Structure formats: C-alpha cells, structure tokens
C-alpha cells in the first residue's frame, strides 16, 4: 500500500481523542464544516459550522467509523439522527479545557479559499499596475552587506522584550 492508497489518519485521531476525553472525565465536542453531505439540524448551523457534543451522555448509538460519525441526539427535546462524514470534522476537543486537535479544512473549503485568494491577488495586481492582466516580478537583494559574522536573519528584539516560548502541556 502506497501513501496515496493509505487511509486517512483523521478517524483514528478522532477516536483516540474521544477516548482520551472520556477517560479523563471531559466532554468531547466536534466542530463540523457543514455541507449537503452532513446530516445535522440546520437551524443550529452558524456560519457553515456546527459544534456537536459527542459524549456518551449526550448521544445514543454512537459510532465513530472510518467514513462517518453517526449517532442519535436530542436537539430542543426532539430526537434527531446525526451523520457526519469524517472528512467534514475540523476539530475535536474537550469542552472543559479546550485541549484537542484541529484538522485541515475540507478540500472544498480549501479550493474556495484559494479561489478567493487568487481573485484578491488579481484585484490587487490590477489596482497597482493599472492593467488587469499585467504581471510583476520583484526581486529582493541586499543593498549593502551586513556586519561580518551576522548569520542570524531575525530582527533584533526590542529592549525589555523577551522571546516567545512554548508551554509544554502534558
């Protein structure tokens, strides 16, 4: 099996984080990018996304499969069948502390972002050049060499400012 033929890691990571949340007494939530393939109550969708409680206390018949997450849940007191393609899940996290994992957005969302970015870049180029199809090439070269021994391209930090650090979360 090649890399292109291998299965996605997303369903495995979702199941692992769901189990971690459950084992630690946290409530697992998933954020879902909604499209026509997602079966959720549309009245609870905001800006094309919905956040779902996938804890055992809030669901029945929960199945975290490789292709779909399926369960039954109550929304406003009414039972609903929920079905979410795993590829539409954009995050899973614990409600209590926010720890979890975000995933790359679905492919259709990426193509929309790329199209918007390309349109924005085209509009910027057209505005700056005055011609809609003009292309510009800019080459950046240093005008004078830096001090000898200066290999660090980072700008100097202001006096009194400290460098950012990573916090290790166990």
pTM (2 decimals)?
Answer: 0.62
pLDDT digits (tens, 9 = 90+) for 101-129: 999 888 765 455 455 555 555 555 444 44
Strands (E), the chain: 28-33, 49-53, 60-64, 68-75, 78-85, 89-94, 100-102
Q: What's the Cα-to-Cα distance from 18 to each of 12, 23, 95, rounded to whole Å? A: 10, 9, 12
Task: Report the alpha-carbon distance of residue 23 to residue 18 in Å, rounded.
Answer: 9
Q: Where are the domains of the chain?
A: 10-109
Q: Can you read off the two tokens belonging to residue 77?
A: 């007191």
Higher pLDDT, 162 or 128: 162
pLDDT over 70 at 162, yes or no: no
Residue 65 has a pLDDT of 95
Residues 10-109, CATH architecture: Roll (2.30)
CB-CB contact of 18 with 64 (8 Å): yes
pLDDT digits (tens, 9 = 90+) for 24-76: 999 999 999 999 999 999 999 999 999 999 999 999 999 999 999 999 999 99
């Amino acid at each position: 099996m090649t890399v292109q033929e291998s299965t996605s890691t997303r369903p495995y990571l979702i199941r692992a984080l769901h189990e971690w949340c459950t084992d630690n007494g946290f409530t697992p939530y998933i954020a879902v990018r909604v499209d026509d393939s997602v079966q959720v109550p549309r009245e609870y969708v905001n800006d094309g996304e919905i956040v779902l409680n996938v804890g055992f206390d809030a669901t029945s018949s929960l199945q975290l499969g490789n292709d779909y997450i399926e369960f039954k849940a109550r929304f406003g007191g009414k039972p609903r069948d929920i079905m979410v393609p795993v590829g539409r899940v954009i995050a899973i996290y614990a409600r209590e502390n926010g720890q979890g994992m975000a995933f790359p957005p679905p492919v259709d969302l990426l193509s929309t972002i790329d199209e918007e970015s390309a349109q924005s870049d085209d509009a910027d180029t057209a505005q700056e050049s005055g011609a809609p199809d003009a292309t510009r090439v800019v080459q950046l070269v240093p005008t004078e060499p830096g001090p000898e021994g200066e290999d660090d391209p980072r700008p100097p930090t202001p006096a009194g400012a400290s460098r950012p650090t990573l916090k290790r979360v166990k």
